[in-house]
Structure formats: C-alpha cells, structure tokens
Structure 1
Amino acid sequence: MFALAMIDYARYDRVRAVVFRDDRLRLLDQRRLPFEEVFIDCEDADAVAQAIADLAVRGAPAIGIAAAWAVVLAAGALGEVSAAQARVSLVPVLDRLNAARPTAVNLAWALARMRGVLAEAGDDWRARVRAEAESIEREDLAANRRMGAQGAALIAPGSGVLTHCNTGSLATAGFGTALGVIRAGVALGRIARVFATETRPWMQGARLTVWELQQDGIDATLIADSAAAHLMGTGQVQWVIVGADRITAQGDVANKIGTLQLAIAARHFGVKFMVVAPWSTVDMATRSGADIPIEERDPAELLTSGGRRTVAEGVRALNPVFDVTPAALIDAIVTERGVLRAPFDAALRAAAASA
C-alpha cells in the first residue's frame, strides 16, 4: 500500500509499553503516566497477570502480547521438562492469565495461540513458545501500520477527528489502532484537528492519549467526556475513531465505557464512526453484543480522585468498564484484512474466510 511508504515511523511511532529483554518482561506502568515513566520488571507469569488486572498494562492488543510473553516466562521457570510435562504444568498459568481481564478477547486469542504451539511442540517446545510470542508482537505492529494507512484513506483532507480512551502504542505493540489511523492521517495531511476525551474514571485520554501524541509532535486538544456532543454539533469533528476490545460476528463492538454515547451522538450529527482493531479482536464465536461479558471494577474508582474521596459517605456507585456499540451505528470497521462496511455480518464472514 503506497501510504505505508509515505509515513515516517521513526517520527510517528516512538513509544513502547511492552518490552521483552534479558528474559524478563518490562511493562511501562501506565498508572504513573504522564508524570513518571516507570517500568515494572516482571520475572514470572504471576507478576504479569497482576499487572494486567491492575491496569499497569492495558489495551486489548498489549494485554494479549504481555500474556504471551508471560507464558515464555513461565516456560523458563519450569526447568528441564518434556513437552508433555510442560503442557500439564502450564495449564494453571494459562488459566490465571486468561482470567485477568475477561472482556478483551485478544487475551484469550493470544493464549489460545500459545496453547496451540504447546500442543504440537516436541523437544523444541521452549523455543517454539518464544517464537510464537515474538510472532504475536511482530504481527500486531505490522497490522497496526496497515490499518493506519487503510483508515486514513477514508478521511477527507482537512478533517477533524475525535478519539476515546487510549488506542496507541501504549495499548499495542506499536503505532496503535485508532491512534494509528490518526498518526497516519496526520502524517499524510488528511487530519487537521485531533480531539481526545478525558475518558473517566481512569482518564486514559487525559493521562495517556494526549501525552502519547505529544511525544510524536502531534497537537491534540483534550475535552471533557461530556463535551463530545457539543463538539460534534459545532462541525469541528468529521470522524469519531475508536478501538475495540471485542467485535462480534454481527459487528457489535465492545469498547471502553462511553463509546456507545459517542456513536449515538455521531449518528445524530452526521459524523462518521470508525472502529479500528486487529483481526484478533474479532470473535466470530460470539454472535451479538448481548453475549459479551461486561467487566465491572471497584466502585471506589468513581468515589475518589487522587486517593481522596470526593463523594459523600453512603453514596453507591456503578462502574462498568465497557459498553457495546451496535453495528447499526458504525460506518466502518478497519482490520488488517481490509475496510469492512455494512452489512457487517456478511463482511466479517468474508474476511474470516480470507485467512
């Protein structure tokens, strides 16, 4: 694709959040950004599972990549055992990692790949496991760059875009999904204005997205979540571009809480809505959004700010982490297999068959 060669990746892809080096996994602790760049050194799979559960590492592709490397760490801790023994010993490790975040399908997808390699490996099982983790990471980066160019091609020059949560290099192997489209769009001169929601309650947009774009010299304007509809109504936004944690067989999309209301507002104001995610996020075994488990986190995340309670004692809170956007509100789903349009059930089946 011509656009790939026109993007200066050294300029627009500087951040790495998941790094495997010297037989340990280094995770950029995203809870500490933007004011501190602190890495967590994980020497075993339990530490990785905890980092995933605690949101130290986050973003569906990055979670899957981290989990794959966690299996490599667990394999290294087994010592000299046969492939058959390894398959048995690693079952609880795989199960523990799979339970760390239930909604992001990339986690289960990556672990299924690691299981598949283990099932077929012989005496070279340890090398095969490591090679598979390397492949998962390498493929994700290549997919993100391809999706970035494909998504940017849909955007008219001079457009304004709005994104939600963080879908960049911090959430992937590099470049990003929705943020990859924005990076490519800026690099190719198609995007003139970038807006990012703060994304409460963990503030991934405020803490991570605008910081990450700043590293690449991309000017982005932060808005309150509740200002999105107003911004669309003023004509400053032509596309809403988001990632996904799971895409169902009919095209319903689970993503960070708040995505659904953006899609509803976009449809009302005639703003286009794009979902960008690698094929590993597509779950053809799940028919519709009604079948997706929606994770809920500690209500205390809504009751406090910076460790201080901001709500009166006795007040209760509900804290779902994801919502589901129906396929009917989506204009395009971009994966490395191409740009998909409605009817999404047929488009997804065709893309699945193209593998």
Structure 2
Amino acid sequence: MATIEKYQTSRGETRYMVRYRKPDHTSTKKRGFTRKKDAQEWLAKHAVIDIRQGTYTDPTLSRTTIGQIHEQWTQERTPYWKPSSLERRNDTWRLYLQDSLEHLEISRLTTQYAQQLISRIAATYSRSTTEACIVTLRGITRTAIRDHLIPNDPMTGIHPPKNTTDRRHRYITVPQLLSLADAAARGNRLTDPQRNRDIILLLGFCGLRWGELAGLRVEDIDLTANRIHIRHNAHQMNDGTWVDGTPKGGKPRSVPMPRIVADTLKRRVENLQPNDLVFPSPSGGYLRTVNRKAGGWWRGAFNRAGLDSMPAHDLRHTAASIAVHAGANVKALQRMLGHANASMTLDVYADLFDSDLDMVAANINRAITVAESGET
C-alpha cells in the first residue's frame, strides 16, 4: 500500500511526500515533490513497477559509497581467499581505485565513468593490473545489485583492452638448459654448490612456479612413481612474513619428473626428514625469489652460459616447450602446469601447437593421395 501526502516545509512551501512499503515490507518515504503529479509518477515507477520487476533500489541506501561497499565485499570474501589473494586485492584497491572511488556514491557510478577509469588505468599499467581492477569493481557492483543499492550493473560490457603485443614466449632448448644448470653450479659460492643447478633443472623440466619450489617438502617427492606432488605455495607478504598456502587455483597436482630431476632430488633429500623443505634459504626458511636484474647467482649463471637473462618464471615456459616437443597434448600440459582448464593452456601456449596445424594439413594431403590412387 502507498499514499501521497501534502506537507509544508519550514519555509511554508507546499510539497508532496510518498509513503510506501519496500519489498521487505518495511515502511519508507520519499519527500520533496513540488507537484502531486511528480509524486504519482515516481510512485508508479519506483514503488510499483520496479518492485514487481525485481529492480527496486532503496533511495536511501543508494547513497552508500563505493568505499563502504568495497569494505563489505572484502569482509564477506575474506574467509574464501588465501592471505596472498587478499593482500593482492587490497593492494589493487589501495593503489589504483581508492582515490577515484572511495567517496563516490554507488548510484553515481555509471558505465561511462567506470570505462573512463579503466581506460586510464590500462593506458598506464599492465594488462594484469587492469584485469585485477575490473575484477574488484565487478565484485563491488554485484554486491550492490544483490543488496538492491543499484538496479543494473555499470560494469556490464567493460573488458580489459586487447593485448596487441607479441605474446610469444622465450624458450631455451634442452642443451641450453643443461648448460645453464652447469653454469649455475660453477658460480655458486654457497656451501651447497649443487643447489642452484638443481633449482634450474626443476624449474626448466617440471615447470614449477617459484612459490611452489620454495614450499616443496621432502614428503611431496615420490621417487617410486617419479612424481612431484604440488601441495604448497610459499608466499612472502608485504610485511616480510611468509605464508604457506595452497597452489594457485587452490588445487594440488602431480608433475612428472624426468630421470635427471629424479636423480637430482633423490640425492638432495636422502638425509632429510619428510617435512623438511627441499630448498630452504641459508637461514633455514623459505627461499626468496631471484632478481634477474640485480647481480647474484641467477644472472651470473646466464652470463657464464652465454644466454640472455630471463625471469625465473620464464623457465616454466621452457618446461612447457620441452613437454610439447616430447609429445604432450594440451590436456597433459594443463595438468602439469596447474592451469584451470585446457583452453587457458592453449591460449597461453598457442604458439607451441602451431606445428600441429602443419601436421593436420600433411595428414589430409596424405589421405587425399591415398584416395586418388585407389589404395586402401
């Protein structure tokens, strides 16, 4: 039930007020109409049609700021996020979105405003940063829609810009990888001269992420089945502390070991306890990632091997290349690398499967030749 009432302002002016019930049956009102007709039209749209169609938004709550909704969204999702994911999402808000959106009322966030903001971010920062900002904004707007703060999602149709750069990865060959591993051992001044060689072999042949290597424990290595079970992912937080989380995507996986890696790990773990880290830091904690731009053993190994330095993560690409040339299909590569699905693997490593197209054409040509010759 709804009513329209006349009232007088403090200045003696006549105004009209709409009283109505919200979908939760609580009573509310909308004041300030100068004409009764305006009040009737507002009532018909906002308190009748929108309620029936399920697009009703509370006029008072629509003034909620985006900063308030972001805080609510974060609190609701925190139990489902790993500490590293929570930190990354908080950093995305703090570094790229907070200044522009914290005090903006959610009802004032239009698609045009959101697109302009995302375009500015895309023009300055990487595609991954832009995608992270879009994910955060979508989480905020979907929370607002769920709570009836806005009727429609202003993030609909907003996507990161197309990646126009060359997406081909840099790969090194098996001989180059072996040469790099030997060069790493020759330059290591630590008490364990083989550690750096073993790290390069593991990254280059098995495709582990650095956090997975740092979190690898003796009990994760199955020398009987020649498998590495990826169950841990070490991550250093902004405050310098480490967390032992799950692998990316939250799912453990098993990775096959070629003989050279199995022999290497067998030698490394033979005197360790099941829960010991395979590659601890010199102080006994988690091993920090290497910096290819700074000096140190990583860059020195590439220099001695006569190769241009690359990030540690790029050896994961080399592992993918070696696996494909050894006959791995897309599904096997997906499982090895821990991608969410095979389409993601194919998108990332499409260039590795270019030769498959040539093979298809060759097989078709061969079938045509057989058919034309009358052979069976």
Normalising by structure 1, what TM-score? Answer: 0.27
Structure number with greater Rg is 2
Q: Which has the higher strand share?
A: 1
Q: Which has the higher helix share?
A: 2
Normalising by structure 2, what TM-score? Answer: 0.26
Higher relative contact order (CA 8 A, sep 6+): 1
